[in-house]
Copies of this chain bind each other. A is one copy, B any other.
Amino acid sequence: MDEYSTGFCIRTAAARGGGTGSKCGRWNPTGEQVKVLTELFKSGLRTPTTDQIQKISAELSFYGKIESKNVFYWFQNHKARDRQKRRRISVDDLPTTPTPSKQFGSAEKNEAERVIETLQLFPVKSRLYADDWKENSYNHAMEMDHPTLDLRLSFV
């Protein structure tokens, strides 16, 4: 599709760990920022609230350009990948009688006291209300009559 011209913030600070001159286009965290974020994560913070996100973002803005959404995404991704990796490992199972004893200890990183690892091993509660929208649930007919919902396609 179209390439959206991302912001051109030429930060030649090279504050990155490798010292490579990084260009902008997407947020590129500095070493300090990553360090702090990682620390927080290891402290047990996994899903910061909006307030926390803003606080963190504000603090980290000292090291360089950063926005709240960056912090938000960072935690989202970090948690997701951590979980993903763990998932992969726990399922393990090598093909040919490798250690059947699953080491589900998962006590390597547990430093947080609020890391609630609820076990969701199977897809429970797949509440599929795919087409329940038929004619139940809510009914706010008070909004307005939908305008001309004439979605006539022109290019066909």
Given A67-B136, A130-B67, A72:B59 Cβ within 8 A: no
Overall SS of chain A's interface: loop
Q: Which of the four size classes fits the interface of chain A?
A: 35 or more
Report copies per complex. Answer: 2
Q: How far is the CA of A47 from the CA of B68 in the complex (A)?
A: 27
- Which residues of B sit under 8 angstroms from A122, Cβ to Cβ? 154-155
Known contacts A40-B153, A54-B133, A149-B36; A69 and B47 CB within 8 A of each other: no
In chain A, positions 51-80 with a C-beta closer than 8 Å to chain B are 51-69, 72
Give the residue of B15, B89, B141, B151 whose beta carbon is less than 8 angstroms from that of A36: B151
CB distance from A126 to the nearest CB of B (A): 9
Binary contact readout A70-95 vs B (1 if CB under 8 angstroms, 0 otherwise): 00100000000000010111011100
Asked whether A135 is an interface residue with its Cβ less than 8 Å from the other chain, the reply is yes
For residue A108, CB closer than 8 A to chain B, the reply is no
8 A Cβ contacts from A1-53 to B: 1-2, 4, 6-7, 9, 15-18, 31-32, 36, 39-40, 43, 45, 47-53
Inside 8 A of A155's CB, which chain B residues have their CB? 45, 48, 51-52, 55-56, 122
Closest 8 CB pairs of A and B: A59-B151, A68-B92, A62-B147, A68-B88, A52-B155, A119-B147, A59-B149, A61-B140
